[in-house]
Amino acid sequence: MNNVLEIKGLCKRYEGFALENISFTLPQGVVMGFIGENGAGKTTTIKSILNLIRRDVGEIRVLGMDNIHDERAVKERIGVVLEDGGFLNTMNAREVNTLMGKAYQGWRPELFLGYMKRFGIDERKKIKDYSKGMRMKISIASALSHGAELLIMDEPTSGLDPIVRDEVLDLLYDFMQDERHAILLSSHITSDLDKIADCVTFIHAGRIVLSEPRDELLDTYGVLRCTADQLASLDPVAVRAKRIGAFGCEALVRRDGVPIGWPVEPVNIEQIMLFLTRGEDA
C-alpha cells in the first residue's frame, strides 16, 4: 500500500510551544482522524504539510513528493479545506469557478457547477451571504473539483449542525469511493470520527501520543473502574493512563493485560482523548 503522506521528525518551535518530532504516515484508502485538544498542534502540523509555515527540521512527503521542492505539483494533487472555509467570501460561485480554473490545471468546472446545483446554490449570490454550513460545503466542493487524491481538512465540521455535518461526511464518503484517495481530517468532533475515521492520530502538547487503526484501538483498549490497590496490582504495561479520584480509579487499560472477570468497559475515541490529555501517564 502506498503512503500519500509521510511525516518524519517534524519540529517547529514557537515561543511557548513546540511541535516535537512529529512522525506519522497516511496510506491510500484511509481516512485519518487527527485529533487533540485546543492548542495541541494540529493546525501547525497541517500548515507545515501545506508549506504555509517554515518547519525547523523534518521531512514531509506528499504523494511521494517533497512538500517544499515539489510544492506546485503537490498543490495540484491535494484538496485543502481550512476551518474558516478559506474562501474569498466576497466572490460568488461563478467567480470561484473562474479563479480555480486559473489556479489548477486539473480544474473541472462541470464538476464544481454540478456540486453547486446539487447544493441549490445561486451562482451569482456572494458566498458570504450563505450559511456557515453552506460555505463549508462550497469550500469542500472546490477542494474536490480538481482531481485531488489527498484531502487535508482542518476542523471542517466545527460549528455545523448535525444535519450539515452528516452532509459533509457524505461528500467525504463519496470521495473515498476511489481507493487511491485519502483524507487527513483534523477534528474535535469525535462522533464524526466514530463514523468515518479508519485510523486515529492523537496529538498532545506538540507530540504524537498515538497513531493507530481505529478498530484496533477500540479492540485493544477499555476503561477499568477499580480501587487504587487493584490498579496497583496490574502489570504497568497494561495501564496506558489513569485518573485517581476520591472514590476510586479509572484507567485506560489494555484489555489483554487485565485479569479475566474484571469489569473492563468499551472505550470510545472521546474517552481515549480525555485519558491521554487529562489523565496521568501510567
Contact positions toward ligand ATP, by CB under 6 A?
14, 17, 36, 38-44
Q: What letter does residue 266 receive in the DSSP assignment?
A: P
Strand 31-35 with 199-204, pairing = parallel
Alpha helical stretches, state H, 144-182 = 162-175
Closer CB to ligand ATP, residue 38 or residue 177? 38
Shortest separation between residue 151's beta carbon and ligand ATP, angstroms: 17
Alpha-carbon distance values, 6 to 51, 54, 136, 155, 188 (Å): 14, 17, 27, 21, 23
Residue corresponding to grid cell 491510500: 28
Shortest separation between residue 14's beta carbon and ligand ATP, angstroms: 3
Residue corresponding to grid cell 474535535: 188
List the end-to-end C-alpha distance of the chain, in Å, as a whole number.
34
C-alpha cell at 3: 503512503
Shortest separation between residue 54's beta carbon and ligand ATP, angstroms: 11
Residues in the chain: 282
Closer CB to ligand ATP, residue 42 or residue 135? 42
Closer CB to ligand ATP, residue 92 or residue 187? 187
Closer CB to ligand ATP, residue 13 or residue 128? 13
Closer CB to ligand ATP, residue 193 or residue 226? 193
Shortest separation between residue 224's beta carbon and ligand ATP, angstroms: 29
Shortest separation between residue 57's beta carbon and ligand ATP, angstroms: 17
CA distance 248 to 162: 36
